[in-house]
Amino acid sequence: MKRVSILGATGSIGTSTLDLIERDGDGFQIVAVTANCDVERLAALAIRTRAELAVVADETCLSALRDALQGTGIEAGGGSEAVLDAARRDCDWTMSAIVGCAGLRPTLAAIERGGTVVIANKEPLVSAGEVILAAARQSGATLLPADSEHNAIFQCFDAQRPGTVRRIILTASGGPFRQWTAERMRDVTPEQAVAHPNWSMGAKISVDSATLMNKGLELIEAARLFPVPGERIEIVVHPQSVIHSMVEYVDGSILAQLGPSDMRVPIAHTLAWPERMATPMQPLDFVGIGRFDFEEPDPQRFPALRLARQALEAGGARPAILNAANEIAVAAFLERRIGFLEIAAIVADTLDCHDPPAPDDVDAVLAIDGEARRIAAARVKDCVA
């Protein structure tokens, strides 16, 4: 029986993970589950899965969680330190799916504990890649990617012979505005931006997919995870979202991972790795799909891609600044305080205004993140004014 913890259990990734675990029956034991403050859902899933520990990051919700778990024998905790304690609990496998930089310290705590840590949130590798990878090397933890693209690369990449890899090809759906002009995108609404054509995701990541910032962040992640220079990691638009990414070898062979547009597929791969487990996915209907299309992304209409590649090439603090400014700008867009095209503009302005030394620990990363957020928030106020 594999002992597992899920950090961010009530989000879309956590829900998909629990769906797979509960379908398996007796193959897994839930150690710890966390959420921000969704007491009702957290308590229900903790009771249903007989978890040992349930934690809310918002300490003001702890009393309600204790009431909901009274008499169950499930331990309750609240606050940021309690989330770290949950991440440090002895287990074999941890899903790290806490959104934003709030997930950075818990991810690091799980990695420092050791075992297998599955990374589903972008911030650890984008903002603190060197810190995260150094911690994994020291503890011997195994890092597995849950993103469909990085999981696809992982399945195709020959880790024993990385020198035989010519390039990595990240695929992108292109989002809902793939064929829109820049002028038309000026009037994009939050409702339009979160309506992804292929995937069911949270609002923030859906907006990132619409600006293609999500693919820019994935570019940085791929450069952290796989020993291939950034200039040999390419992005191609594939509207069908069936080919999740590809690896090309020096002999001209290309290996691609294909699957349904459902996060349970890559999550199942990480849950069972190095084995395989069944999922409820139906087989791909190639006749029904009919064709695979590919396009080159347009960096003029989608400048987020250019900003991300520049941040990767510059290194140091630049990826952390990019990520933090984007979070602030996307939140402002979802609150209707700025327009869609202003998201990338605010990120670019923040990168221009903030250039600290490279971080060497998590405190330095969070300091860079905090200052970038302050600068981006001031830029948002300028737009509103």
Give pLDDT, residue 102.
87
Give pLDDT, residue 385.
56
Mean per-residue pLDDT for 33-52? Answer: 97
Judged on CB neighbours under 10 Å (0-12, 13-18, 19+), 15 is middle
Give pLDDT, residue 150.
97
Mean per-residue pLDDT for 187-214? Answer: 88
Q: Which residues contact 273 (CB under 8 A, 6 or more apart)?
A: 116, 144
Mean per-residue pLDDT for 236-255? Answer: 97
Mean per-residue pLDDT for 100-112? Answer: 93
Q: What percent of the chain has pLDDT over 70?
A: 99
| Per-residue pLDDT tens digits for 317-337 | 999 999 999 999 999 999 999
Give pLDDT, residue 382.
86
pLDDT band at 99 (very low <50, low <70, confident <90, very high): confident
pLDDT band at 33 (very low <50, low <70, confident <90, very high): very high
Domains of the chain in sequence order: 2-145 (3.40.50.720), 146-312 (no CATH), 315-385 (1.10.1740.10)
Rounded Cα distance between 146 and 267, Å, is 6
Q: How many CA atoms lie within 13 A of 166 on its CB side?
A: 9
